[in-house]
Amino acid sequence: MARVLGEQVNGGKPTWPYVIHGHYADAGDVAAHLSGALNVPMVLTGHSLGRNKFEQLLKQGRLSREAINATYKIMRRIEAEEFSVDAAEMVVTSTRQEIEEQWGLYDGYDLKLERKLRVRRRRGVSCLGRHMPRMVVRMHNVSICFMVLSCQTMFTDADVCLSAESCH
């Protein structure tokens, strides 16, 4: 696999991804499957979320639940988002409101539990097998790039580049 990836992106040198990053529901679903198959962490950026869109469309009152689902395939989208958030190590958002009011609508994310688990991890206390993705607010002028590195490289948090300029 590393050889095939290297032929595609790294001039033939064996290469392994540091992270798989999915955007929106469909790519998040694919990224979750790929992450599991390759045993590589997954990052998700939702952009616009199906549960929130579904609620907004229902409030408008123009379409029934069935019509919304037929038009937007909203239930499949929500299912993909649930699967993606369950698989993600980190979810990139644009605001705290998105975390609290939009991701909070999903079964796979609980803000209070996430905070408790984060504190337990910092203290070195067992989370008893429970997992919740880390939510990260990304400002619009900050670029996030995940580097694809060779198989022999050890990965650290420094491999994630966060800067207002391009990544080097």
Residues of the chain with pLDDT under 50: 141, 146-168
Task: Look at residue 2 and tell me if it is in a domain.
Answer: no
Answer whether 32's CB lies under 8 Å from 83's CB.
yes
Q: Which residues of 111-140 are buried (b: 16+ CB within 10 A; e: fewer)?
A: eeebeebeeeeeeeeeeeeeebbebeeeee
Query: What's the confidence (pLDDT) of residue 62?
Result: 95
Cα angle vertex 77, ends 71, 78, to 5°? 120
Measured CA to CA in angstroms, residue 27 lies from 15, 36, 77, 147, 157 at distances of: 21, 14, 11, 19, 24
Answer whether 126's CB lies under 8 Å from 110's CB.
no
Question: Which residues form the domain of 77?
Answer: 18-163
* SS3 of the chain: helix, strand, coil, percent, to 5: 50, 20, 35
Task: Look at residue 42 and tell me if it is in a domain.
Answer: yes
How many structural domains is the chain composed of? 1
Task: Look at residue 79 and tell me if it is in a domain.
Answer: yes
Task: Look at residue 122 and tell me if it is in a domain.
Answer: yes
Query: What's the confidence (pLDDT) of residue 127?
Result: 83
pTM: 0.76
Query: What's the confidence (pLDDT) of residue 139?
Result: 64
Query: What's the confidence (pLDDT) of residue 143?
Result: 52
Query: What's the confidence (pLDDT) of residue 12?
Result: 86
The first and second tokens of residue 99, run together, are 């975390």
Gap between the Cα atoms of 86 and 108, Å rounded: 5
- Which residue, among 33, 34, 81, has the nearest Cα to 54 in the 3D structure? 81
- Which residue, among 39, 1, 41, 38, has the nearest Cα to 19 in the 3D structure? 41
Task: Look at residue 9 and tell me if it is in a domain.
Answer: no
Task: Look at residue 27 and tell me if it is in a domain.
Answer: yes
